[in-house]
């Protein structure tokens, strides 16, 4: 692990470009998704080596449900396969596995596997690997507001407490509660957008865009992003 205070605590990645990577090779889009799993492995190992404590990955958005059924199914199957294959490595390397998102939309069998993987790795402390599945930033803010509204409806005596709520209090209703906001958000494949990712949590994240397609984004590319992050001057609206 490197002793460097410029190492981000939380790195988040919008893993994009799998389809184009496959197309460039004359293959089906799913070939790119499968190769992308290798990039997840490589970046996870590198995150641990660098001393990053949280690595979060945008794996499947709420909008991605609108893709062809065969592609959605292939992505879900890949998730199952990756969990089965990687669990021993998670336990060996102290990786805590967490899945966040609209899990009600996932299959029961997938949810059972996710729960098992999360429970088995709950005590792991080297790195938290957070996978956003069926997630969108607007959905997250909406579900937080609904949860709060329902709590208040059930106990109107809390109205003064709710009126006095601050940003930190509200953020505890988001699915990312307990996880620090990302210091660095990386997006691969040359697209310059957030695509409804961590809208609340990205308020002061440093953004890093690269043309590299996700299946080609490995440890060296991860390091390049960390090096770029180290040069950034984070001011949070203040004067330095």
State yes or no: is 155 an active-site residue: no
Q: Which two tokens stand for residue 233?
A: 């001057």
Binding of Mg ion at residue 16 (CB under 5 A)? yes
Query: Of 15 and 99, which has the nearer Cβ to Mg ion?
Result: 15
Query: Of 170 and 209, which has the nearer Cβ to ligand IPE?
Result: 209
What is the pattern of x (binds Mg ion, CB under 5 A) and - over residues 56-95? ----------------------------------------
Q: Which two tokens stand for residue 46?
A: 């590198």
Q: Which residues touch 189 (CB under 8 Å, ≥6 apart)?
A: 16, 17, 20, 211, 212, 213, 214
Residue (of 92, 101, 7) closest to 46 by Cα position: 7
125 annotated among ligand-binding-site residues: no
Least spacing, CB of residue 162 vs ligand IPE, in Å: 33
* Active-site residue, from 16, 140, 181, 183: 16
State yes or no: is 16 an active-site residue: yes
Rounded distance between C-alpha atoms, residue 227 and residue 25, angstroms = 31
* Alpha carbon separation from 111 to 56, 79, 108, 115 (Å, rounded): 19, 11, 5, 6
Query: Of 20 and 120, which has the nearer Cβ to ligand IPE?
Result: 20
CA dihedral 105, 110, 18, 207 (to 10 degrees): 70
234 annotated among ligand-binding-site residues: no
65 annotated among ligand-binding-site residues: yes
What residues form the annotated binding site? 16-21, 29, 33, 61-63, 65, 67, 187, 193-195, 206
Enumerate the active-site residues: 16, 64
């Amino acid at each position: 692990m490197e002793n460097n205070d410029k190492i981000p605590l939380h790195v988040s990645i919008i893993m994009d470009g799998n389809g184009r990577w496959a197309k460039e090779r004359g293959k089906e889009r799913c070939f790119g998704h499968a190769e992308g799993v290798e990039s997840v492995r490589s970046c996870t190992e590198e995150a641990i080596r660098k001393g990053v404590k949280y690595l979060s990955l945008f794996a499947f958005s709420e909008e991605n449900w609108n893709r062809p059924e065969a592609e959605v199914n292939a992505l879900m199957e890949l998730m199952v396969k990756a969990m089965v294959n990687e669990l021993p490595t998670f336990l060996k390397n102290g990786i805590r596995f967490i899945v966040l998102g609209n899990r009600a939309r996932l299959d029961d069998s997938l949810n059972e596997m996710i729960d098992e993987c999360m429970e088995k790795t709950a005590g792991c402390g080297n790195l938290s690997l957070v996978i956003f599945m069926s997630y969108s930033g607007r959905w997250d803010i909406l579900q937080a507001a609904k949860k709060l509204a329902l709590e208040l409806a059930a106990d109107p005596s809390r109205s003064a407490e709710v009126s006095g709520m601050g940003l930190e209090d509200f953020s505890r209703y988001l699915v990312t509660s307990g996880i620090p906001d990302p210091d660095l958000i990386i997006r691969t494949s040359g697209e310059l957008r957030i695509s409804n990712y961590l809208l609340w949590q990205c308020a002061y994240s440093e953004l890093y865009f690269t043309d590299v397609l996700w299946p080609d984004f490995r440890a060296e590319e991860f390091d390049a992003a960390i090096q770029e992050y180290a040069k950034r001057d984070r001011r949070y609206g203040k004067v330095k």
